[in-house]
Structure 1
Amino acid sequence: MSYENAFHWIIDFLEQESVPYMIMGGLAAYAYGSDRELYDVDLYLPQSALKRVTDFGEQFKTFGPARYRDEFWDIEGTQFIISGVKVEITTDDNCRFFSEKDSMWIELEIDFDSTVTKNIFGREVEVMKLEDLLSYKKQLARDVDLDDVSRLEEVIR
């Protein structure tokens, strides 16, 4: 699997089309120094860009665009498989996650102007702020999220 290929595939398109984005999840943790194995490439983008992105990746699409809800997430988005790697796109439209810590749904406020520029796979990209990443991962509190929190807290000490 090539996370780099999947990453560059979506970032090339987003930058060519001037679509604001924010890298989140495990890839954002990786950008801050976590060494956990990656599972996918997760990004937020504006709802207004979802159709363009879905049309661009139509031949690789495995989900959406549609609403997705499970025990952890209530989101709008689409998913692709590129070089064996999931690329999961979530929009800023009514994006919620279930906080195990607080036993309630929490609305994520996605602000594309509040990203931090980080280097991932040799490329400067827009990533969720560390404090925001840690906050939502602590609240989401799945094993993988708590693992990321532990690794990131160790890196920033």
Structure 2
Amino acid sequence: MEEMKKIDQKVYEKTLKWIVRLLKKRKIQFNVLGGLAAYAYGSKRMLVDIDLTMKNEDFQKILSDVKDYVIEPPHFSKSENWECYYMELEKDGITIEIGGDKGCKFLDSKTRKWEKLGDSLSKPTIKEVFGIDLPIISKNKLIRYKKKLMREVDVIDLKNLS
């Protein structure tokens, strides 16, 4: 198994609070995905990054606030497992990956076909994580895409979510 980088969880918490405060200040609707969403539902693996989704058109609203932390500016991106409008930030060593809500797809590891994530912003579950209320992608949607991606981190999360 690929070794996960060690992250100071206090720094992680501070960075999470920073980005959430910024998004709320700008009145931007967002949801939490990925490992942090799995953590909110009970997975206790080490958190290494922050995965969020928001409306494609809202990326421009935060650019002036995050300009010093931009690793990848908003653009259409295709990686090994994901295809979507995307921006990457890094603050205090913590990576913040933000995907857009329109046209986001992930690769099904079994069929090798791209599947739409679907509406990643609707009907979030509000969960308290590190003392803040966060809108989290529904557990069913999270499990659905993690079962299809089946990366090592997904396998760990799925064991902890069942």
Amino acid at match of 1:27: L
Using the TM superposition, name which of 143-152 and 108-117 deviates more: 108-117
Q: State the Cα RMSD in Å.
A: 1.1
Q: Is the 8 A contact 2:120 2:137 kept in 1?
A: no
Q: SS at 2:122's partner residue?
A: helix
How many matched pairs?
153
Q: Is the 8 A contact 1:73 1:98 kept in 2?
A: yes
For 1:54 and 1:142, locate their aligned partners in 2 and report how far apart those are by CA, in whole Å: 31
TM-score by length of 2: 0.90
Q: Is the 8 A contact 1:5 1:82 kept in 2?
A: no
After superposition, the C-alpha distances for 1:72-115 in whole angstroms (9 at most, x for unaligned) are 11111111111110011111121011010222100111242310
Percent identity reads 29
- Long gaps (5+) in structure 1: none
The aligned residue for residue 3 of structure 2 is none
Q: Is the 8 A contact 2:26 2:62 kept in 1?
A: no
Whether 1:46 aligns to 2:55 is yes
**Which among 14, 26, 30 is matched to residue 23 of structure 2?**
14
**Which among 79, 101, 113 is matched to residue 110 of structure 2?**
101
Whether 1:148 aligns to 2:141 is no
- CA drift at 1:66: 1.1
For 1:100 and 1:59, locate their aligned partners in 2 and report how far apart those are by CA, in whole Å: 35
- CA drift at 1:22: 0.5
Q: How does 1:81-92 map to 2 (within 5 A)?
A: 81-92=90-101
- Long gaps (5+) in structure 2: 1-7
The aligned residue for residue 76 of structure 1 is 85
